């Protein structure tokens, strides 16, 4: 489930004393009844060097697996309620079935979570996000219904995606996309930091530190837009535990039991301050490091190299297919 941002409201303090001029106050601007759409394309290139499980060291029997694919998802956001403190309830809906295209072989497949057959959990899947003024998602509703759409009564599939659809996991993912605004006013060139936990599905979880910079107004066609850039670095990595409490054991055939992923990334956001909405965003993340997979018959020592690049575009209407 790859990363979608919405726009912060820019207020230039023209009426304040001269010492405060040039500062901006960035906060989420929600309008009850407002609705907009977002298209996100994520391209992934990765190489997995797999050792022969029967040997202790790498040799000619090592196998190199290369993958290159693009994931496209269409979402809508409808503001159902705005509270006095500036927080809001937002209905997030999947408007079209997500598509995964293997760019190496130029073929399309179903979303990896949905599997073959009818796209349960695709178009029409909904979540309700409770968002604070700074973009922190404090509550998520609807994940149980989404789990039913994704997995139905298939026990193995339910266990495989349950952790990814837990409220804590969904809150972390949504906050990672929305919670990048500074606290209080910021000058052009001003910077702020935050940390986030990113779930990688079966691979585990990353702890990431972000450093943001407010660049002021853009140039050319972006002269009326506000620009925020960021860099990021991986602080820590944790594989998922095989058992997560009574009755919560994972049913995946192969699991990550050890790893040392490191990485860094960057990105930018362009905002329409008058509309209080994101116009477009771009993010990149590069990961690499050794990982050990294990199943009931063998242990595989591998080295992963992965690059993710995502582009998000926000619009008022959903284009024709």
Q: Is residue 320 part of a domain?
A: no
Q: Is residue 194 part of a domain?
A: yes
Lowest mean pLDDT among 37-41, 78-82, 177-181: 177-181
Q: Is residue 28 part of a domain?
A: no
Task: Report the distance separating Cα 60 and Cα 258, nearest Å.
Answer: 24
Domain of residue 185: give its range: 33-315
pLDDT in tens, 305-317: 999 999 999 999 9
Q: Is residue 272 part of a domain?
A: yes
Does the pTM surpass 0.85? The reply is no
DSSP state of 239: P
pLDDT in tens, 88-138: 999 999 898 888 888 776 656 555 443 333 334 478 889 999 998 888 899
* The pLDDT of residue 313: 93
Total domains present in the chain: 1
**CATH number of the domain residue 232 falls in:** 2.30.230
Q: Is residue 20 part of a domain?
A: no
Q: Is residue 120 part of a domain?
A: yes
Q: Is residue 25 part of a domain?
A: no
Average pLDDT, the chain: 78
Binning pLDDT at 50, 70 and 90, where does residue 1 land? Answer: very low
- The CB-side HSE value for 319 (13 A sphere, CA atoms) comes to 7
Nearby residues of 142 by Cβ (< 8 Å), 6 or more positions away: 126, 127, 128
Structural contact between residues 230 and 180, judged by C-beta atoms closer than 8 angstroms: yes
Q: Is residue 195 part of a domain?
A: yes
């Amino acid at each position: 489930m790859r990363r979608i941002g919405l726009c912060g409201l820019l207020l230039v303090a023209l009426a304040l004393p001269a010492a405060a001029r040039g500062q901006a106050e960035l906060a989420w601007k929600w309008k009850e009844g407002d609705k907009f759409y977002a298209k996100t394309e994520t391209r992934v290139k990765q190489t997995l060097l797999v050792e022969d499980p029967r040997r202790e060291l790498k040799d000619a029997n090592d196998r190199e697996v290369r993958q290159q694919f693009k994931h496209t998802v269409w979402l809508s956001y409808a503001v159902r309620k705005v509270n006095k403190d500036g927080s809001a309830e937002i209905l997030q809906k999947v408007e079209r079935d997500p598509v995964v295209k293997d760019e190496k072989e130029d073929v399309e497949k179903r979303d990896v979570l949905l599997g073959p057959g009818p796209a349960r959990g695709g178009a029409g899947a909904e979540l309700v996000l409770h968002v604070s003024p700074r973009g922190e998602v404090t509550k998520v509703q609807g994940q149980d219904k989404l789990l039913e759409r994704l997995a139905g009564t298939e026990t193995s599939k339910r266990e495989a995606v349950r952790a990814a659809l837990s409220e804590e996991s969904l809150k972390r993912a949504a906050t990672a996309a929305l919670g990048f605004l500074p606290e209080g006013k910021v000058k052009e060139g001003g910077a702020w930091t935050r940390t986030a936990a990113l779930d990688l599905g079966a691979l585990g979880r990353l702890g990431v530190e972000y450093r943001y910079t407010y660049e002021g107004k853009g140039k050319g066609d972006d002269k009326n837009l506000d620009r925020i850039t960021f860099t990021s670095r991986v602080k820590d990595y944790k594989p998922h535990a095989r058992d997560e409490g009574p009755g919560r054991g994972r049913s995946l055939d192969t699991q990550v039991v050890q790893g040392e992923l490191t990485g860094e990334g960057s990105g930018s956001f362009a905002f329409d301050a008058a509309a209080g909405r994101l116009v477009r965003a771009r993010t990149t993340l590069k990961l690499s490091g050794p990982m050990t997979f294990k199943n009931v018959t063998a242990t595989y020592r591998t080295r992963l190299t992965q690059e993710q690049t995502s582009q998000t575009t926000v619009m008022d209407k959903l284009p024709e297919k």
